[in-house]
Amino acid sequence: MSTSEITCLCCRSARTALQPNGDEELPEGVSVVEMPCSGRIDEVMMLRALRTGSHVVMVIACLDGNCKNRTGNYHARRRVDEARSLLSQLGLDPRRVAMFSLASNQSSCWLEAVKDMRELADALGPIKLMEGDR
């Protein structure tokens, strides 16, 4: 069971943005699940990450039009939307899952995104019902 607060489900190509030299330490509380392509990430993984202790889930994909497999990041985007819809239906805050598009040299963007999501994670805390719209 993960004890980290932020789970990044991350495309292998975009991952360079997280650790440009390959050995940097990740920000505290961030764990990364590397996938061959963001197109392989589905709503089951996002929900499971939340259930097993993550406060928020970041789905990290390549920039639009930049997917090695052509459309993997578009798939990921639709599944993020679906996961958010499921969260709303469950009475959970849909903002707990978010999508980020990164090129491999956009380390600063990634750090910025982590900062924002950490703020959100701190504000929301562990999952609880009725925090969403219903």
State the Cα–Cα distance between residues 34 and 8, nearest whole angstrom. Answer: 8
Nearer to another protein, 112 or 133 (CB): 133
Task: Spell out the residues 6+ positions from residue 115 whose beta carbon is closer than 8 angstroms to its own.
Answer: none
Nearer to another protein, 115 or 134 (CB): 134
Q: State the sign of the Cα–Cα–Cα–Cα dihedral 31, 37, 43, 44.
A: negative
Nearer to another protein, 61 or 92 (CB): 92
What residues between 27 and 86 interact with another protein by CB under 8 A? 42-44, 47-48, 50-51, 82, 86
Beta-bridged to residue 99, according to DSSP, are 59
Q: HSE, CB side, 13 Å, CA atoms: give it for residue 54.
A: 23
Minimum distance from CB of 55 to another protein (Å)?
A: 12
Nearer to another protein, 26 or 86 (CB): 86
Minimum distance from CB of 39 to another protein (Å)?
A: 14
Q: Which residue is it, tokens 């990430």?
A: 41
State the Cα–Cα distance between residues 84 and 18, nearest whole angstrom. Answer: 24
State the Cα–Cα distance between residues 40 and 54, nearest whole angstrom. Answer: 20
Build a one-symbol-per-residue string for 114-133: x at contacts with another protein by CB under 8 A, - elsewhere: -------------xxx----
What residues between 77 and 106 interact with another protein by CB under 8 A? 82, 86, 89-92
Residues forming the site for another protein (CB under 8 A):
42-44, 47-48, 50-51, 82, 86, 89-92, 127-129, 134
